[in-house]
Amino acid sequence: MVTVAVNRGRPGGVRCKICGLKTPADVEAAAQAGAGYIGLVFFPRSPRHLDIAQARELALLAPVGLAKVALVVDADDATLQAITDAVPLDLLQLHGRESPDRVAEVKARFGLPVMKAVGVAEAADLAAIADYEAVADQILVDAKAPKGAALPGGNGLAFDWRLIAGRPWRRPWMLAGGLTPENVAEAVRLTGARQVDVSSGVESAPGVKDAARIAAFVAAAQG
Ligand SMILES: O=C(O)c1ccccc1NCC(=O)[C@H](O)[C@H](O)COP(=O)(O)O
Catalytic residue among 16, 26, 142, 197: 142
What lies within 8 Å, CB to CB, of 105 at 6+ separation is none
Domain that holds residue 195: 15-221
Query: What pLDDT sits at residue 83?
Result: 98
State how many domains the chain has. 1
Which CATH number is 108's domain given? 3.20.20.70
Determine the atom of ligand 1 nearest the C-alpha atom of 49.
Answer: 3
> Does the residue 10 lie in any domain?
no
| Whether 142 is catalytic | yes
Task: Let me know if 16 is a catalytic residue.
Answer: no
Reported ipTM exceeds the 0.95 cut = yes
> Is any ligand 1 atom within 6 A of the Cβ of residue 21?
no
**Does residue 4 lie within any of the structural domains?**
no
Query: What does the alpha-carbon distance between residue 219 and residue 223 come to, in Å, rounded to a whole number?
Result: 6
**Pairwise CA distance, residues 195 & 215, whole Å:** 16
Distance from residue 178's CA to the centre of ligand 1 (Å): 9
pLDDT in tens, 177-218: 999 999 999 999 999 999 999 999 999 999 999 999 999 999
**Residue 195 CB less than 6 A away from ligand 1:** no
| Residue of 41, 141, 174 best suited for mutating to test ligand 1, as the one with most atoms within 8 Å of CB | 41
CA of 78 to the centre of ligand 1 (A): 23
**Interval between CA 174 and ligand 1 midpoint (Å):** 13
**Closest residue CA from atom 8 of ligand 1:** 153
- Nearest atom in ligand 1 to the alpha carbon of residue 96 is 7
- How far is the CA of 118 from the CAs of 28, 53, 77, in angstroms? 29, 29, 21
| CA 112 to the chain's CA centroid | 15
Helices 77-86 and 52-61, packing angle to 10 deg: 40
Asked whether residue 87 is assigned to any structural domain, the reply reads yes
Give the pLDDT confidence score for residue 10 in this predicted structure.
60
On whether residue 110 sits in a domain, the answer given is: yes
The pLDDT of residue 158: 97
Cβ of 20 below 6 Å from ligand 1:
yes
Read off the pTM.
0.94
- Cβ(71) – ligand 1 distance below 6 Å: yes
Residue 7 belongs to some domain of the structure: no
In whole numbers, what is the pLDDT of the chain averaged over residues? Answer: 95
pLDDT at 1: 45
Interior angle at CA 24, CA 19 and CA 26, nearest 5: 40
